[in-house]
């Protein structure tokens, strides 16, 4: 799993060195600092280099000595000729093998800060600043975060950057369709009944059930990340409370699906032949459409209306009707999964926006002539900014009109919208996500109350 990144910008170098020493004493090894003097000279302290050299020397001596001892024992037994130069060659070969093995074991990914990270932050520093960079799993960053924010007379600017996580593969359909009323649901169901084509020889896999299990674990990981973000005093997306407070509902419903939708039975469900839904159960295609056009708000009325309208054109099998409650749960869980993934993405985009806002404001206040160079650095790292990143960056820079002006021009040029439109669109999207995730959890509760 990719590590998180903890970054602290200090105004005073001696305070940074003191904090650095404290973190090392606490056992943090993936840590380095970069300093830029008032004269613009960049210095880096990266303990990984010395650790790598020490490991290579130790491995050279150990493997070389071991090879020499083995060679001597073979000579004693008469298995190899007694020749001094030959012994030295074997010792050197063993030593060099030790160096290669030590490089393979002491990798920067485990013991040191990524080189690109150090190089980037060296460019983003302003004169007189020192940045401490620490990498580690998100759940281990709480203690160093506390140490850093309590360091020195002038507290540093501290940032946590969550790693970019790749979720399970699936369709991004959740709550994105237009919401239907009851009559529209019935019309859409009849339309689907005429469009659906069954595969006469369906593939008998359980990809949907595997996807459900992957999605369940994915949401668990997201909840852990969001929970840690809250403990680290970070700004979290509005849907976070819904996820953290109702995770147990998701777990219990996923367990219900596993228990009540056996794989053998699932394999017997009629499957669709269309390219988009190839191999998926027809009843899942119906459940997905119902959930998407209900904004994840399901109840007995719209479920019955949808299923009955479909069957007025094309009847469903007894097995499909029996699977309806579990397949509806599956569709809702997938919808929650997509909204959770969006929340994690928003968290990370907000962290990045906060970081760049700090860089822009710091440069504008101390070295305003460097503002456009930092602006160029930001645009290079964010060639395709998300609308959430844009809205957050605008909020962070709202009181600094000088720094906001070039950012405004850049964002309006990319999105072809004014700043107010960007902010309004994001607020509407966040409000919609809150409604959707609330609908989904309420619907999971409702499914348990229906007399199927």
Structure tokens at 388: 């959430």
Q: At what angle do helices 207-231 and 318-366 cross, to 10 degrees?
A: 30
Cβ neighbours of residue 161 closer than 8 Å, sequence gap 6 or more: 4, 5, 6, 7, 348, 351, 352, 355
**What Cα–Cα distance (Å) separates residue 344 from each residue in 136, 224, 239, 439?**
18, 10, 10, 19
pLDDT for the residue numbered 3: 85
Q: How confident is the model at residue 452 (pLDDT cuts 50, 70, 90)?
A: confident
Q: What is the pLDDT of residue 74?
A: 54
Q: Which residue has the higher pLDDT, 177 or 37?
A: 37
Q: Around 235, how many Cα atoms within 13 Å sit in the side-chain half-sphere?
A: 16
Give the tokens for residue 14: 């001696």
For 374-399, what is the mean pLDDT?
93
What is residue 179's predicted lDDT score, i.e. its pLDDT?
Answer: 82
pLDDT at 84: 47
Residue closest to 190 by CA, chosen among 332, 324, 315, 330: 315
Lowest mean pLDDT among 38-47, 238-247, 339-348, 431-440: 38-47
Residue 9 has pLDDT above 70, yes or no: yes
Tell me which residue of 408, 382, 384 sits closest to 395, measured CA to CA.
408
pLDDT band at 70 (very low <50, low <70, confident <90, very high): low
Whether pLDDT at 250 is above 80: yes
The class of domain 4-46+112-161 in CATH terms is: alpha beta
CA dist., res. 26 & res. 33, Å (int): 16
Q: What is the pLDDT of residue 187?
A: 95
pLDDT tens-digit series, residues 260-315: 999 999 999 999 988 778 889 999 999 999 999 999 999 999 999 999 999 999 99
User: Which pLDDT belongs to residue 151?
Assistant: 87
- Structure confidence at residue 54 as a pLDDT band (50, 70, 90): low
Q: What pLDDT, on the 0 to 100 scale, is given for residue 1? A: 59
Q: List all residues 6 or more positions away from 273 whose beta carbon is below 8 Å from its beta carbon.
A: 197, 198, 199, 200
The CB-based long-range contact list for 342-345 (8 Å cut-off, 24+ gap) reads 342/237, 342/239, 342/433, 343/222, 343/226, 343/236, 343/237, 343/239, 343/240, 343/243, 343/433, 344/162, 344/165, 344/222, 344/225, 344/226, 345/386, 345/388
| Rg of the chain taking only CA atoms, in angstroms | 29
How far CA 85 is from CA of 74, 79, 97, in Å, comes to 15, 17, 18
Express each pLDDT in 332-376 by its tens digit: 999 999 999 999 999 999 999 999 999 999 999 999 999 999 999
User: Are 215 and 291 within 8 A, CB to CB?
Assistant: no
pLDDT at 158: 95
Of 20-24, 68-72, 104-108, 131-135, the least confident? 104-108
Mean pLDDT for 34-57 is 76
| Residue found under tokens 């998300």 | 386
- Compute the mean pLDDT over every residue in the chain, rounded to the nearest whole number: 86
Note the pLDDT of residue 2: 74
pLDDT 10s digits, 397-440: 988 989 999 999 999 999 999 988 989 999 999 999 999 999 99
Quick: pLDDT tens for 104-163.
Answer: 555 555 667 888 889 999 999 999 999 999 998 888 999 999 999 998 888 899 999 998
Place of tokens 């037994």: 77
The confidence score (pLDDT) of residue 199 equals: 85
Which range of 69-78, 110-119, 440-449 scores highest in mean pLDDT? It is 440-449
DSSP state of 140: G
pLDDT(230) > 70: yes
pLDDT for res 114: 82
User: How does residue 81 score in pLDDT terms, banded at 50, 70 and 90?
Assistant: low
Predicted structure pTM score: 0.84
pLDDT at 77: 60
Return the higher-pLDDT residue of 51 and 430.
Answer: 430
């Amino acid at each position: 799993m990719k590590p998180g990144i903890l970054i602290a910008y200090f105004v005073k170098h001696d305070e940074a060195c003191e904090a650095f020493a404290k973190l090392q004493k606490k056992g943090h090894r993936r840590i380095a600092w970069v300093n830029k003097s008032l004269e613009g000279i960049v210095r880096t302290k990266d303990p990984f280099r010395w650790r790598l050299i020490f490991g290579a020397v130790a491995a050279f001596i150990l493997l070389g000595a071991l090879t020499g001892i083995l060679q001597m024992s073979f000579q004693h037994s008469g298995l190899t000729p007694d020749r001094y130069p030959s012994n030295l060659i074997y010792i050197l070969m063993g030593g060099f093998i030790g160096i290669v093995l030590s490089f393979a074991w002491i990798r920067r990914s485990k013991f040191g800060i990524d080189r690109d990270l150090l190089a980037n932050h060296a460019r983003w520093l302003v004169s007189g600043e020192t940045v401490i960079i620490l990498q580690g799993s998100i759940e281990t960053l709480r203690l160093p975060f506390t140490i850093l924010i309590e360091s020195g007379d002038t507290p540093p600017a501290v940032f946590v950057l969550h790693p970019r996580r790749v979720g399970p593969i699936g369709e991004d359909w959740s709550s994105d369709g237009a919401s239907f009323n009851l009559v529209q649901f019935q019309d859409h169901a009849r339309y689907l009944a005429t469009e659906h084509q069954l595969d006469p020889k369906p593939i008998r896999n359980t990809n949907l059930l595997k996807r459900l299990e992957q999605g369940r674990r994915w949401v668990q990981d997201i909840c852990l990340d969001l929970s840690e973000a809250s403990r680290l005093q970070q700004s979290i997306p509005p849907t976070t409370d819904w996820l953290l407070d109702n995770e147990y509902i998701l777990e219990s419903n996923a367990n219900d699906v596993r228990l009540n939708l056996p794989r053998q039975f699932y394999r017997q469900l009629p499957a669709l032949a269309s390219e988009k839904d190839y191999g998926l159960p027809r009843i899942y295609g119906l459940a997905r459409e119902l959930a998407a056009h209900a904004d994840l708000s399901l109840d007995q009325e719209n479920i019955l209306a949808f299923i009955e309208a479909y069957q007025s054109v094309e009847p469903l099998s007894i097995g499909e009707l029996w699977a309806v409650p579990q397949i509806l749960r599956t569709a809702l869980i997938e919808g929650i999964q997509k909204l959770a993934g969006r929340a994690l993405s928003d968290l990370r985009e907000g962290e990045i926006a906060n970081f760049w806002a700090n860089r822009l404001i710091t440069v504008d206040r101390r070295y305003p002539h460097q503002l456009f160079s930092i602006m160029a650095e930001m645009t290079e790292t964010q060639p395709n900014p998300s609308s959430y990143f844009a809205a957050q960056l605008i909020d962070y820079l709202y009181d600094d009109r000088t720094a906001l002006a070039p950012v405004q021009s850049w964002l309006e040029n990319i999105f072809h919208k004014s700043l107010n439109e960007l902010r309004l669109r994001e607020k509407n999207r966040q409000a919609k996500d809150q409604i959707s995730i609330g609908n989904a959890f309420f619907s999971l509760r409702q499914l348990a109350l229906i007399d199927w």
